[in-house]
Amino acid sequence: MRHARRRIVRRGARLAAVGGVLCGGLMVTHAMASEPSAASRAPQSATLAAAGKGAGLVSTLGTSRTAGSWIAADGRPVVAVTDSAAAAEVKKAGARPKVVSHSMEDLSSVTKALKAAPRVAGTAWAMDYVHNEVVVQADRTVSAADWSRMKKLAESMGSSVRMERTEGTFTTRLNAALPMFSTGGRCSAGYNVTNGRNEFILTAGHCGPAGSVWFGDNQGAKQLGQTVTTAFPGSDFSLIQYNNGQNDTGNNVVSIGGGKGVQIIGTADPTVGQRVFRSGSTSGLHDGEVKALNATVNYPEGTVTGLIETNVCAEPGDSGGPLFSEGIALGVTSGGNGDCTAGGTTFFQPITKALTALGVKLTGPGAAAQGAGGATAQSSPAPASSQGAAVVPGSAAPGSVQAVGSGPSEPLLTRLTDPQNLGPGLLVIAGSIIALVATRYIRTEQDRNRYRRQYSQSWG
């Protein structure tokens, strides 16, 4: 009877171990299936390839024969050209030409004239490559007299200028995507960067002057660091040095809400028509499209130039938060008008310009994808135009989503037990195999001891 019970226990243990191996195998398969595939990264490569092709053609043909480039709704690069010979070269290169009346030199002369005119707070202008115009916007704070004066200036420049009145007010968004607090107000963290010795938070310059102390809570209990460098107006970026000179996580994950974040893997300059995402501590994650580059905004505090103009909404407190797409950092939030209920225009400081000016680069995986001065090398080879159809910009995603804080600094046990990793499945498989070996060993030892007893009784 006792031997029968032992056999039942051994068989049950073996069955449980075999079941554990099968269960662990299913867990590993599920975890591997949840990893981003090469196909899911294709939109990133296609978008960068299209943008690079358009920018390359503009650089080759020159500013007197071109007027910018953008990504069309079907994902193909479009280059504005001023003559048929340039159009033929663009078409031969695999891009789509659009013949326009005004060259980049013409549009640049318009922006120079606007900049030389008396400054009017509440105005902004940028080159609209698609419509071959410089668009001048004025918010509700601009007086009728100032508006009339600017219209006369625009009329003197001909058909290359379009005037628009906008809703709301152009303001900096003081008040990453995680919130930061100081005596001057509230902003959002942008990206973690390093100069090789210390680590910093890159955020908007208007958030506070050098010497501002920042906290991770509005009670002032969790001090993050202190602003050591700032550029505003003119540009709009600053560095906050961590208290101990080091970031606790060492990674670059942009919070998008719900305990999730997007891993940043590099930096780049955006392209008109590109779908982009912005995250901030007030309004969370929102998306939209790049409408113009090299925009100028006359905030009440001063003029900022060289900005990215988008139709992504933002609200007070989102300042300094990141602009990104497909895991590529593009900029930090500067300001705009409207809100995330009615919509509006938002401007961003390009990250490449900020990194170069500050002499820093991203920390974490993004550092490997950067060259000198913050320029980015593409993380995966861009497919040639012959390798398939272009990817529509609207299909672009924020990037690889993961749990916020699940970086390399987490304890090994935490990473192994994360159900989205391979660890749990491998642990179950290993435990089950050990159980199988242990049951086999125990049975062998029991058989050997039983044989010894029988032998000693027979020959004793």
Instruction: Pick the catalytic residue from 139, 236, 269, 318.
Output: 236
Taking alpha carbons only, the member of 396, 374, 356 closest to residue 266 is 374
- Side-chain-side CA neighbours of 164 within 13 Å: the count stands at 15
What is the phi-psi region of residue 68: left when phi exceeds 0, alpha when psi lies from -120 to 50, beta otherwise?
A: left
Question: 188 catalytic, yes or no?
Answer: no
d(CA 295, CA 456): 97
* DSSP strand pairing (161-165 vs 133-138): parallel
Question: 319 catalytic, yes or no?
Answer: yes
Question: Bridge partners of 418?
Answer: none
d(CA 297, CA 294): 10
Taking alpha carbons only, the member of 240, 218, 263, 441 closest to residue 358 is 240
Amino acid in the structure at residue 289:
E
d(CA 334, CA 231): 12
Taking alpha carbons only, the member of 329, 333, 327 closest to residue 269 is 329
CB atoms within 10 A of CB 72: 18
Taking alpha carbons only, the member of 42, 79, 124, 54 closest to residue 397 is 42
Question: 131 catalytic, yes or no?
Answer: no
Instruction: Pick the catalytic residue from 103, 206, 269, 400.
Output: 206
Cβ atoms of 270 and 308 closer than 8 Å: yes
Taking alpha carbons only, the member of 355, 361, 364, 190 closest to residue 263 is 364
Taking alpha carbons only, the member of 350, 304, 296, 330 closest to residue 126 is 296
Instruction: Pick the catalytic residue from 319, 325, 334, 432.
Output: 319
- Give catalytic residue positions: 206, 236, 319
